[in-house]
Amino acid sequence: MTNKQRKALGRGFGALLKAVDDKNLEANAANIAQIDIDKIGLNPKQPRLEIDPETLEGLAQSIRMKGVIQPILVRPTSDGANRYELVAGERRLKASLIAGFDKIPAIIKPIKDKDLLEIALIENIQRDNLNAMEEAKAYCNLLEEHGYTQEDLAKRIGKNRSTIANLIRLLQLPENLQHDLAKNRISPGHARALLTVTDEGKQTQLRNKIVEDHISVREAEAWARMEKKPVTQKTVKAPEAEITSQLVLNQDRLRELFATKVRIKPRGDKGKIELEYYSREDFNRLYALLIK
């Protein structure tokens, strides 16, 4: 972890993650042990809900070749049964099982309940392991469990408040669209465009355009804005009537009379006649003819 990354975690939060920083492994050597994998329970507050099987198999192959380079982080369980609860490193733990390992190197550290989700969340964010829905749900859980404001949470995890607010808004999406986002069928930008469309049918239509036609976020936003425009009397116009042969004849006669381009535009029983002029003198000439 770089100094820049540590600064982004917010004041005091770097201390929570000090145990998972490989630069501090020597200082924590007394707390590192090879632990039986079957004695480690998963973190119930793990923010990541899905792990790509192909990615996990790739990590397992790497572990077969080189072993687990960075220890996982665990905390002792409160029952005193020499068992542990995973705090960070679920992918490494599961990949080690796939690789056929019985033990895994782990840093043992007493972690408070209130810090459990925050550490798991930060560890995943630093590794880009969370999709947008997993991150949104984790932020929402932190806000509810600890009573943080979005501003407080932003300072603790090194994110802009607007970033957190935009992610939490994604939880307003219907379940099927949340699933699309979790599976990367749509991007967070597409999802925010979908949120602005309140009509369920139009929202589905836009979703299909995004997934099937692969339209960009800009195009999705433009489509959503167009769908929100109210239908006004100005936008609903009667269709122009087809110009008849008689009207064409009348149009030609007017062109001869006024010696300029003339267009007759019928619209039902109404319509308009347009005359063009090309200079101030031409306008005065037409005006004089019209008032006679």
Domain boundaries, the chain: 3-129, 173-224, 245-291
Question: Is 90 a known active-site residue?
Answer: yes
- CATH of region 3-129: 3.90.1530.30
Predicted confidence (pLDDT) at residue 115 exceeds the cutoff of 70? yes
pLDDT score for 53: 78
Return the pLDDT at 152.
81
Rounded to 5°, the CA angle 9-15-19 comes to 110
- Highest mean predicted confidence (pLDDT) among 55-59, 137-141, 197-201, 234-238: 197-201
Q: Is the pTM of this model over 0.75?
A: no
Q: Into which CATH architecture does domain 173-224 fall?
A: Orthogonal Bundle (1.10)
Over residues 1-11, the mean pLDDT reads: 42
User: What are 135's two structure tokens?
Assistant: 């991150």
- Across the range 47-75, mean pLDDT stands at 80
Q: What is the pLDDT of residue 48?
A: 64
Percent residues over pLDDT 70 in the chain:
76
Catalytic residue among 90, 123, 134, 135: 90
Instruction: Look at the alpha carbons of 94, 100, 106, 108 in this order and tell me if their dihedral is positive or negative.
Output: positive
Looking from the CA of 99 toward its CB, the CA atoms found within 13 Å total 23
Q: Is 70 exceeded by the pLDDT of residue 25?
A: no
Q: What are the tens digits of pLDDT across the range 73-107? A: 888 887 766 788 888 888 888 888 888 899 999 98
Sequence-distant (6+) residues with CB within 8 A of 87 are 43, 72, 73, 74, 75, 109, 111, 116, 119, 120
Q: What is the pLDDT of residue 208?
A: 92
**Which one is predicted more confidently, 185 or 17?**
185
Report pLDDT for 253. Answer: 84
pLDDT for 4 equals: 45
What's the average model confidence in pLDDT over 130-154? Answer: 80
Across the chain, mean pLDDT equals: 77
* pLDDT classification of 286: cutoffs 50, 70, 90: confident
pLDDT for the residue 261: 85
* Residues 132, 189: Cα–Cα separation, whole Å: 11
Is residue 24 predicted with pLDDT exceeding 50? no
Which of 56-60, 165-169, 220-224, 271-275 is predicted with the least confidence, judged by mean pLDDT? 56-60
Quote the pLDDT of residue 240.
52
Q: What is the mean pLDDT of residues 131-157?
A: 80
Q: Per-residue pLDDT tens for 167-223?
A: 888 989 999 999 999 888 999 999 999 999 888 889 999 999 999 988 899 888 888
